[in-house]
Amino acid sequence: MAERVNQHTNPIIGTNIRRLRKERGLKAVDVIAKLQLVDINVNTGIFSKVEKGRNNPTVDMLIALTDIFQCDFNEFFKR
C-alpha cells in the first residue's frame, strides 16, 4: 500500500498542486497523463479531489509531480 500524505485538516498540498499546475500553464488532464506514464494510478476524479483537499496524494505522486512541475518537494507545503 502506498504511503499517503494526509491533507484533510489542512488542504495546503492540494492548493499548491493546483497553483503550480496553473503557473506552468498545464491542464489537469495533461498532468494526469504524465502521472500515468510513470505508473501513478490516477484519474480525473482522484486528481480533482487531491487538488481540492478531499483526497490524500501518495508520496509517489508528489515525487512524480516534482519532476512534472520541475520544483522542489517543499513547494507543496508552502503557505
Q: What is the pLDDT of residues 3-34, one digit of tens each?
A: 888 887 888 999 999 999 999 999 999 999 99
Contacts of 62 (CB under 8 A, 6+ apart): 5, 13, 73, 76
Instruction: Give domain limits for the chain.
Output: 30-71
Helix (H, G, I), strand (E, B) or coil at 72: coil
Residue scoring higher pLDDT (60 or 3): 60
Q: Cell for 66?
A: 516534482
